[in-house]
Homo-oligomer: A and B are copies of this chain.
Amino acid sequence: MRLADYTDYALRVLLYCARHDERLVTVAEIAEQQGLAKNHVMKIVADLAHAGLLETVRGRSGGVRLMRPAREIRIGDVVRLGETDLRLTECFDERSNACKLTPECRLRGVFARALHAFFGVLDAITLAELAGSAPRRSKPSNEPAPA
């Protein structure tokens, strides 16, 4: 059980943009900093722009930046974007499922609940929290609780 490299790299691209949100960053810069192929980063940037997470600015002094504040981007949504195949076991896909145990087996429901718990953790974390630019929401706040 691993995430796709694509998901890993998409998170890195977004993290890099979050860390440098005071300016536009370039594809070449991200590629060099992360040791990734420039074409690979270009594809990821295009997908993230299509998904409304990155804004691309054309021209000589162009580049990319986050479309929304990092605190409004949930890690779970980025992972869902990269992980297009979340069929944990064969029975997740009714069309191709050949398992003979299916009718009475509760496996699919159990794995669906486990996946829900997995994304529950990721949905509670924002890009800002991951990048270290915002306090973790799960930590107790120093501010007094509302009465």
Contact = CB atoms under 8 A, between A and B. Distances in A.
Interface stretch (A8-16, A42-50, A56-64): A8-16
Contacts of A94: none
Nearest to A75: B110
Interface centre among A1, A2, A87 (most CB of B within 10 A): A1
Interface of A: 1-5, 7-8, 11-12, 15-16, 19, 33-35, 75, 83, 85-90, 98-101, 104-107, 110-111, 113-122, 125, 129-132, 136
B8 A90 contact: yes
A105 B131 contact: yes
15 contacts: A1-B1, A1-B86, A2-B85, A2-B89, A3-B111, A12-B101, A15-B101, A33-B100, A104-B131, A104-B132, A110-B121, A110-B130, A111-B122, A115-B118, A117-B120
Interface centre among A33, A89, A125, A130 (most CB of B within 10 A): A89
Nearest to A8: B89
A121 B110 CA distance: 7
Contact of A85 (B1, B87, B129, B132): B1
A122 B105 contact: no
Contact of A129 (B12, B19, B86, B106): B106
